[in-house]
Structure 1
């Protein structure tokens, strides 16, 4: 029987070939994207305790550029050997925001030791193609998710943790995933006998209450004797206090006061109703304050239409990067970024943040 490393090398050669063929296919120029997995799979000599699975690498760049990038040391194309070694910058991962948040969450459930030894966990993605936003993954690239399923079948981890609750949909049978904490805080399922858990991606901004709630639940679930017995009701009974602390976490400010302070900086809203106010923000962009859902502030193109509201906005990607990378706003359909009311610590600090974002937007215009 082949060792796990022999199986991984065979898998890596086939996977590198499959991605290379699609990335260089003249019929699919949209797939000319850099691709890689994350942690170093050459360190794995037995089934890991944990597989951390996100949707895809969230940066950017073409495959053509990757081939010529000296950091990759590629002989004119991606090879199975190089793919197996993962992201060449992974040695810096402990300084990454999303990793620090994950460690913080795990520490709340007394399971942080799972992240100490790179032989005991694997971090990878459903698709290896690198895009700044997950919704920019080409449809043809999703066919290669089958390669990730093959990887899971080789690794046979004890648990799978999905960063992004929707990632579980690719591994579980239709409608079999259970929502343990609604609406999208914690889900569970089974893949070929392996327990799967999905949480919000750790690149987003977590509150202390949210980390405490999810970490405590994961600590319990990773030690549960049988997932068949785990229900939303059980989670509620065991962690109701932490769930309520998360749900009730609201920074106290008055909606009208927030609108008034923003109006002082941006002028009167060009559209207003009892729940929503919209303001000119910078050239071509508008800021919205709304009580819809749990309440949020959002920035997008002033005028748009269709599924991609910002499609005609000049510098849209640069604007989005400022919001998502520099200020940890959240990505949401139709928006460059949003910030939920519960993450606004005070009106004063938030006005300062908006002023800084406004200046950065003007600099790239």
Structure 2
């Protein structure tokens, strides 16, 4: 009981300082004039949570200027500015969460592993966000000051949950890792699931539930989370996962991609991705073909709208099929692409690996963001292979 009271006192202090930080940013910097709030009601906690779920950020949009005069929020307790009392109460639409598409998908994933009950008792879990600033899409957020992410880390330190689940690989776990100074390991293909520890707390990250999932992927992620939740202290986790769920992993790898992204979206990806890739340092190296970009001195990536739309990786000096000529690090590159990023490498032997647009998401912006994160991960992975 004393432990609970102490936690609630610390939460009240955290809420006051967090509300002040976000208020000052929203008032002083026009780019941060965005509504901000948390999600679940932290006053509902009756113990340290079994699970802390961290999404990227609230997705409703709107400005802070409008939020503080909006009847929904003034009825929630705002009086001219956000304060700690209102922030602790979370989202005034929290009770409608079962209608939220990403929450429905998350429940479906957990149901596959028979662990949906963990989010049915509101006193045992918390839903919050990496950042409390709201935007319809994560890409609409300005570059976040480290203080915002540090406030989320402070929340973790106060709550001391038994486990943490991040919704989103590139936009959630990666920034948290940087500020929290911990590492993770990818456990499943297609960037479906990673695992690490923040201090002593197991922390898992899955592909965001708003992203495109197929039945095989939801089945695999749900079952793996069940195993990981039940065995938080196991070592060699990846080896265990690959052994226990070999059948489910093969089902994901072998599933034929039959879904095609609409032509209009494929065209939009082609038109927008050039600027985004060059901003990340991936320069077009073939003047006659604007779809090809340099990953390294030896490796290129092609992002094309052709067919269903795909990303292809191969050697720049490619001249004969991979079955007819041995290229440097060929087998290791192919193995990395398949295991770490879910690429297919049996496509007529002209690519080290291919991945279709439909595996990256539904919208053009989502597909572009996920492609870029994939390419960055591949670049780092290939560089490590070549150093070994």
Same fold per TM (> 0.5)? yes
| TM-score normalised according to structure 1 size | 0.71
Task: Determine which structure has the larger helix proportion and give its number.
Answer: 2
Counterpart residue number, 1:242? 248
What CA distance in whole angstroms lies between the structure 2 residues aligned with 1:297 and 1:123? 28
What CA distance in whole angstroms lies between the structure 1 residues aligned with 2:95 and 2:89? 11
SS at match of 1:68: coil
Q: Which runs of 5+ in 2 are unaligned?
A: 272-288, 292-301, 313-353, 372-388
Alignment of 1:59 with 2:79, yes or no, is: no
What CA distance in whole angstroms lies between the structure 1 residues aligned with 2:100 and 2:356? 28
After superposition, give the CA deviation of every residue in 1:93-128 in whole Å (9 maximum; x if it has no partner): 011111111111111111111011111100000110
Counterpart residue number, 1:157? 161
What CA distance in whole angstroms lies between the structure 1 residues aligned with 2:31 and 2:252? 41
Alignment of 1:189 with 2:190, yes or no, is: no
Counterpart residue number, 1:176? 183
SS at match of 1:17: helix
| TM-score normalised according to structure 2 size | 0.67
> Structure 1 stretches (4+) deviating beyond 6 angstroms?
270-273
SS at match of 1:332: helix
- Give the direction of change, closer, same or farther, for the CA distance of 1:24–1:331 in structure 2 (3 Å limit): farther
CA contact (8 A) 2:212 2:358 kept: no
- Give the direction of change, closer, same or farther, for the CA distance of 1:252–1:80 in structure 2 (3 Å limit): closer
What CA distance in whole angstroms lies between the structure 1 residues aligned with 2:358 and 2:246? 29
Out of 238, 242, 267, the residue aligned to residue 232 of structure 1 is 238
Alignment of 1:130 with 2:134, yes or no, is: yes
Matches within 5 A, 1:1-365: 2-25=5-28, 28-73=29-74, 74-166=78-170, 167-172=172-177, 176-227=183-234, 229-252=235-258, 289-290=309-310, 292=312, 293-296=354-357, 324=363, 330-333=366-369
- Give the direction of change, closer, same or farther, for the CA distance of 1:276–1:183 in structure 2 (3 Å limit): closer
Cα distance, 1:46 vs. partner? 1.4
What CA distance in whole angstroms lies between the structure 2 residues aligned with 1:50 and 1:276? 38
After superposition, give the CA deviation of every residue in 1:195-245 in whole Å (9 maximum; x if it has no partner): 000000011221111110000000000010514x14322211010110111
What CA distance in whole angstroms lies between the structure 2 residues aligned with 1:331 and 1:76? 39
What CA distance in whole angstroms lies between the structure 2 residues aligned with 1:43 and 1:262? 47
What CA distance in whole angstroms lies between the structure 2 residues aligned with 1:224 and 1:140? 34
SS at match of 2:79: coil
Q: Which runs of 5+ in 1 are unaligned?
A: 280-286, 299-319, 336-365
Cα distance, 1:252 vs. partner? 4.8
After superposition, give the CA deviation of every residue in 1:313-343 in whole Å (9 maximum; x if it has no partner): xxxxxxx9xx64xxx99442399xxxxxxxx
CA contact (8 A) 1:4 1:45 kept: no
Q: Cα RMSD between the aligned structures? A: 3.3
